[in-house]
Amino acid sequence: RNFVDMDLDAITKYSALHAKPYGLILQYGTAGFRTKAEHLDHVMFRMGLLAVLRSKQTKSTIGVMVTASHNPEEDNGVKLVDPLGEMLAPSWEEHATCLANAEEQDIQRVLIDIGEKEAVNLQQDAFVVIGRDTRPSSEKLSQSVIDGITILGGQFHDYGLLTTPQLHYMVYCRNTSGQYGKATIEGYYQKLSKAFMELTKQASCCGDEYRTLKVDCANGIGALKLREMEHYFSQGLSVHLFNDGTKGKLNHLCGADFVKSHQKPPEGMEMKSNERCCSFDGDADRIVYYYQDAEGDFHLIDGDKIATLISSFLKELLLEIGESLNIGVVQTAYANGSSTRYLEEVMKVPVYCTKTGVKHLHHKAQEFDIGVYFEANGHGTVLFSKVAEMKIKQLAKELEDNKRKVAKMLENIIDLFNQAAGDAISDMLVTEAILALKGLTIQQWDALYTDLPNRQLKVKVADRQVISTTDAERQAVTPPGLQEAINGLVKKYRLSRAFVRPSGTEDVVRVYAEADSQESADSLAHEVSLAVYRLAGGIGERPQRG
């Protein structure tokens, strides 16, 4: 039988060296596993084992990324990357959870179960690539992954320090036998920089002062990689790095998540009025832009506005070459109502709403020739279908003069987007290129539309399962009476909407409200949270006005 070949005794012996704290339960979610670094050694070893099984089953290279993204520095985490650089298949997320939570004496049985369920051929070779972020705990934890890979006889390549999107890129390159790009860090830098430089040389741009960008790197891996990369594109863009990890703590008072949730600039960045600034998150797969106006007011440009800039530009290019490829923008219920209205009514670009979570957005975006998706938090990308890609490459060869130039620009944009995952570096370069090509300042970009004031709140409940939703989380189905209550409250305000949804991770219900003024948005959010507290089993004290 197949499974006799697993040296089960060796696995058991090694597993004891990466012992699981008894009774610890973790869940593999959208972001993989995440918790305090000291609780993760056994999980890393076991994900090494799982990656080998997945590699044998798919006959492909699998990636393992050690990171906890925008979480505090004390935390860490791990996620697996599937053959085309996408997130791990849902059935394997379940296997991951099962394996991570098995007590020591059950490890053998769980491995055999997975192998049999998935018909894994153990004779098949396995290859796994590993990347890690700059957390103090990451190096030792990635060594535990390697232990797991080795004990099951897998081959591996350890890339060391990488951004999360760079590991996705490596996996994609290795599984498309180099057609997509070279599976090296230089390959990544060259592919993106070449596309960026070709795209921006079309810009009949103003003085040099214009093409400078301040980047807050969240004291993370983004700083190291941007520093290695900057000389590749320095003729087209000069980046000034802040929070580069030389002194500050990872994600502490800086990074995309901090800027977005606190609506203020990161510590450690001096901003002059109207300068373009952006922030990456800890593993460089999210980006938000912002600036300070002449009055000293802070303006955030979130994922919705980035998606609007990019999709409008793509639509313009397609119109110029008379190409009818269909573009779709995919958002979640958290997208600001003004962005949806602007895209549909002004740009005439169709917008679709899905449930919260990258996998839902990604899945929907794959239905279009060109699918654009960004979460408001700055995580997103553009997906080009194979058909769209072939058509555009064809046109770049066949068309004449100006139209040929436009088709070439589309081709550069295809190369700039990391097709495998949202990538802050890609998103930054595309955004910078578009602003240069259109001659837009950051204020002009910001002025495309004005965000409706909004407010997000959390309500503690005894059991978040009492809330269930439909219509991409925009309508509450249970508990009875809650949606009716929300409808009644929304009617009291102008340009208003509100929705509630259970948190994916804790017993709280998340409330979102927007309206024509901040006062109205705050008031609506508060009233909705009172309704949740009353009808969905709120615990602790009643929600107070902020």
Task: Pick out the residues of the known binding site for substrate.
Answer: 375-377, 501-505, 510
**117 alpha carbon, distance to own chain's centre:** 30
Whether the Cβ atoms of residue 474 and residue 337 lie closer than 8 Å to each other: no
Please report, as a single letter, which amino acid is at residue 146.
Answer: I
**Binding-site residue ranges:** 69, 281, 283, 285, 375-377, 501-505, 510
**Binding-site residue ranges for Mg(2+):** 69, 281, 283, 285
**Integer Cα distance of 124 and 115 in angstroms:** 12
Residue 109 corresponds to which tokens in the numbers above? 């049985």
**Integer Cα distance of 452 and 515 in angstroms:** 6
**Which element (helix H / strand E) includes 63?**
strand 61-66
Q: Which of 427, 147, 446 is nearest to 291 (CA)?
A: 446
CB-side exposure of 261: number of CA atoms within 13 Å? Answer: 10
Supply the DSSP symbol for 74: T
Backbone angles phi, psi at 281, to 5 degrees: -95, -175
* Set 15, 55, 69, 138: catalytic member: 69
List alpha helices for 208-248, DSSP H: 221-233
CB-side exposure of 386: number of CA atoms within 13 Å? Answer: 1
**Integer Cα distance of 191 and 459 in angstroms:** 46
- What do you get for the CA distance between the two ends of the chain, in Å? 64
Whether the Cβ atoms of residue 50 and residue 56 lie closer than 8 Å to each other: no
Tell me whether residue 261 is one of the annotated catalytic residues. Answer: no
The β-bridge partners of 300 are 290
Residues 6+ apart with CB under 8 A from 345: none
State whether the Cα torsion 163-168-174-180 is positive or negative. negative
Whether the Cβ atoms of residue 469 and residue 360 lie closer than 8 Å to each other: no
Q: Tell whether omega for the bond before 265 is within 30 degrees of 0, i.e. cis.
A: no
**Integer Cα distance of 64 and 444 in angstroms:** 41
Q: Which of 174, 43, 162 is nearest to 102 (CA)?
A: 43
Residues 6+ apart with CB under 8 A from 216: 242, 243, 254, 255, 259, 266, 268, 269, 277, 278, 279, 280
**Integer Cα distance of 29 and 31 in angstroms:** 5
Backbone angles phi, psi at 458, to 5 degrees: -120, 140
Whether the Cβ atoms of residue 68 and residue 135 lie closer than 8 Å to each other: yes
Whether the Cβ atoms of residue 260 and residue 230 lie closer than 8 Å to each other: no
Instruction: Catalogue the active-site residues.
Output: 69
